[in-house]
Amino acid sequence: MKNRLSPWNLGATLYMPATREDIADAVLHGKIPGLRSLVICLEDAVSEADIPVALKNLEHLLHELSNSMHSLGKNDWPLVFIRPRHAEMGRWLKAHYDLSAVDGFVLPKFTLSSLAEWWDIMGGTHLCMMPTLETEDVFDVVQMRELATRLVEHPCHDRIIALRNRRQRSYERCVASPSPGPDAV
C-alpha cells in the first residue's frame, strides 16, 4: 500500500471554497480527473459574510465523506485538507466536526510564534500540516532560519507534508524569472 501522505502524492493541489456544493463529487466520484489533492478553503476564498454558509456546507460534506470512508474506504480519493481562517477556527473545527475523513489542515499565516498554538490544536490528532508562509517574516532570513531549525526539532516535523510559500498579491512575475533589465519598458 502506498503512503497516502507523501508530498509526492499532492500533485497540483486544487483549492475549492467551502461554499461550493460539489466538493463531494470531486472527492467521491472523480468529477475532476487526475485530482490528487484538494483544499477546502475557509480563508481567502470565502467572504466573512459567507462563513456561516461555508461552515454548514463543510459540516454536511464531512458527514458525507465520513460515511463513505467507513463503508468504502478512501484509497481512491484525493488527499483532502481544510484551510481554516485562523487558529481559533481550526480549534473550533476540531472540537465540533468529524475530521476523520480529512488528511490535514493548511495553516494560514504560519510563523514561529504560531507553531505552539497550531500544535496544541493538531498534536493529538491524525491530521497533517501544510503551513503557509505568507507574513512579513518570510522576508527575514533570521526568522526563517529560526523557524526551519525549530520545525526540524519539533514533534510536528513528521506531520508536515509541505510548506507553502505564498507570494504577495501584487507580484506579477513567476518566482524563477529574472528581474527586468534597465532597458525594460
For residues 90 and 110, give the distance between their C-alpha atoms in angstroms, rounded to a whole number: 13
Q: Which cell numbers in the block locate residue 57?
A: 456546507
pLDDT in tens, 49-92: 999 999 999 999 999 999 999 888 777 899 999 999 999 999 99
Q: Which domains does the chain have, with CATH numbers?
A: 8-165 (3.20.20.60)
The low-confidence residues of the chain, meaning pLDDT below 70, are 1-5, 164-185
Alpha helices in the chain (DSSP H): 23-28, 51-72, 87-96, 112-122, 141-153
What is the distance in angstroms between the CA of the first residue and the CA of the last residue of the chain? 54
Can you give the pLDDT at residue 173? 52
Element counts in the chain: helices (H) and strands (E): 5, 6
pTM, rounded to two decimals: 0.83
For residues 8 and 6, give the distance between their C-alpha atoms in angstroms, rounded to a whole number: 5
